Amino acid sequence: MKAHLLDGATIVVGIVLALLLDQGWRTASDRLEEREAIAGLRAEFETGRSELAADQQARRDALARLERLLRAAEGGPAVHPDSVAAFTAAMLDYRFYTPSHPVLDDLIASGRLHLLRSDALRYRIMRYLQERDRLAIVEERERRFSADRMEPWLLDHLPLGPPRTPDDEVLWGPHVDPESLDEALLDPSFRTLLVLRVERTDIALRFSSGLGRSLEAALASLDPRR
């Protein structure tokens, strides 16, 4: 009888030890996977921060040129002939924030976001994703306005020519005769388009600033020094 009890106890202890070892292995595997995920997420968010900063600076530059055009339309100083191509690009250009997030996408698609033990980190990542989706809607609105309203007007009213130099082609886009632009600025419908373009560019810039704050918050949670 005692032998049977001893055998049974040995089996139970063996099973418990096996379960503990398996659980320990799983925990160690999860922690390793978590460290790898955090390292990958940090790299992705840092790259996204650089892209967003470039987008924001391009929008600030465009906004400054658009507001300068409005001042010229209201009787302010005319646009210098050498700057007309840059101002034309500001009217037509738009930006899209297109970060690459293979690690984050994999965590979400596989349902393994729980590997990140920090509740604050998970919350900040989800907040970032919400802000990114909001910005995408605003950016699409900006794109549609440029493509559907501003570009057709310019094509109908301004003779657009090819860039004058290779540098123009890379930086600024089509050439517009300065006198043609001066005439366009006298057209009330064109001034209305400029006002709306300024409004859409400004809104996109403000939404991108909101995304930038959520991105920085996520990066703070991913920083191993904090």
Task: Parse the chain into domains and list their residue ranges.
Answer: 2-222
Per-residue pLDDT reduced to its tens digit, 107-163: 999 988 888 888 999 999 999 999 999 999 999 999 999 999 988 888 888 776 665
- d(Cα 166, Cα 27) in Å, to the nearest integer? 58
Task: Give yes or no for a contact between 221 and 124, defined as CB atoms under 8 angstroms apart.
Answer: yes
Task: Give yes or no for a contact between 92 and 172, defined as CB atoms under 8 angstroms apart.
Answer: no
- d(Cα 28, Cα 23) in Å, to the nearest integer? 9
Closest CA to 103 of 116, 87, 90, 117: 116
- d(Cα 5, Cα 91) in Å, to the nearest integer? 86
Which amino acid appears at position 59 of this protein? R
**Mean pLDDT for all residues in the chain:** 82
Per-residue pLDDT reduced to its tens digit, 9-59: 565 555 555 555 445 545 556 678 888 989 999 999 999 999 999 999 999
- pLDDT in the model for residue 8: 55
Task: Give yes or no for a contact between 134 and 210, defined as CB atoms under 8 angstroms apart.
Answer: yes
Share of the chain above pLDDT 90, in %: 45
- d(Cα 200, Cα 145) in Å, to the nearest integer? 8
Burial class for 15, CB neighbours closer than 10 Å (0-12, 13-18, 19+): exposed
Task: Give yes or no for a contact between 161 and 176, defined as CB atoms under 8 angstroms apart.
Answer: yes
- pLDDT in the model for residue 43: 95
Q: What are φ and ψ of residue 176, in 5° steps? A: -125, 135
- d(Cα 186, Cα 115) in Å, to the nearest integer? 61
Least confident range of 112-121, 162-171, 174-183: 162-171
